[in-house]
Amino acid sequence: MSENRVLSESHLDVLKEIGNIGLGNAATALATMVNKRIDMAVPQSKFLMLDEIMELVGGLEEVVCCVSLRLTGDVPGQILFLFNLDSTFKLVDMLMGMEQGTTQELDEMGESVVKEIGNVLSGSFLSAISTLTGLSMIPTVPMFATDMLGAVISTSMIAGGYVEEQVLMIETRLFEDHEQIKGHFFLITEQGSLHTLFNSLGLSI
C-alpha cells in the first residue's frame, strides 16, 4: 500500500501541531535576534510528491535561494528551506534592520543572514519533534545555494539518495508591519524514516 493512501488526517494534524510549535518558537527567536516584533502565520502543512513541489514553488526554472541541512540520527534525511529572490531580499532587509527594497542582490553578508534564519527555523522545528517524540535528529552546518528550483531539488535528491515517495512541506509566512515573506520548508527523509517518526507518535503507517 502506498503512503498516499495510508497518511491520514491524523498524521497531518500531528505534523501541523509540530509545525505550529516549532515555527512559532522560531518567530520568537527571530524577534529576539532583531529586537523587533516578527509575526508568523499558522503554518500550512501537507505531504507532496516531488513533481508537486515544482508546481507549488513556481516551476523548474524559478530561481530560488536554498538553505539545506543534512540530518543524522533516528530520522536521517535533509531539510530544505526555499525562498524566491524577492522574499530573500525582503528577509535580508528585515533581519539587517534596513528599509525594505534596499537589498537588490546577495553578498556574503546576505547569504550568512539567510543561512542563519534557515538554521533558526530548522532548529526550532527539530527541537519540537524531539520534544514530542524523543527521537534524535541532528542537523549539519547549513549550506546555501542560489539556482533554478529544478537544479536545487535534483542536486539534493542525488546527493542524499532519498527514495521516500512523499515530502513533508510546511509553508511559512513571516510578517513585519505590512511586509510578507513566504518560504517553503521541506523535510526529505530516507526510506523508512516516516515510519520511525509516526510510530514514535503512536501513529502507524
Is 205 among the domain residues?
Answer: no
Lowest mean pLDDT among 108-122, 123-137, 139-153, 156-170: 156-170
Distances (CA, A) of 42 to 28, 92, 103, 137: 14, 22, 27, 24
Which residues constitute the domain of residue 124?
A: 3-200
Is 13 among the domain residues?
Answer: yes
Which residue, 120, 112, 114, 130, is CA-closest to 26? 120
- Choose the most confident range, by mean pLDDT, from 58-72, 102-116, 165-179, 184-198: 102-116
Which residue, 95, 99, 129, is CA-closest to 115? 95
- CATH of residue 136's domain is 3.40.1550.10
Is 83 among the domain residues?
Answer: yes
Is 139 among the domain residues?
Answer: yes
Task: Indicate the pLDDT class of residue 4, thresholds 50, 70 and 90.
Answer: very low
Is 132 among the domain residues?
Answer: yes
Is 158 among the domain residues?
Answer: yes
Tens digit of each residue's pLDDT (9 = 90 or more) over 144-195? 888 888 787 777 665 656 555 677 788 878 777 777 788 888 888 877 777 7
Phi-psi region of 71 (alpha: psi -120 to 50; beta: other; left: phi over 0): beta
Is 173 among the domain residues?
Answer: yes
Is 69 among the domain residues?
Answer: yes
Domain count, the chain: 1
What's the rounded Cα separation, in Å, for the pair 109 and 114?
9
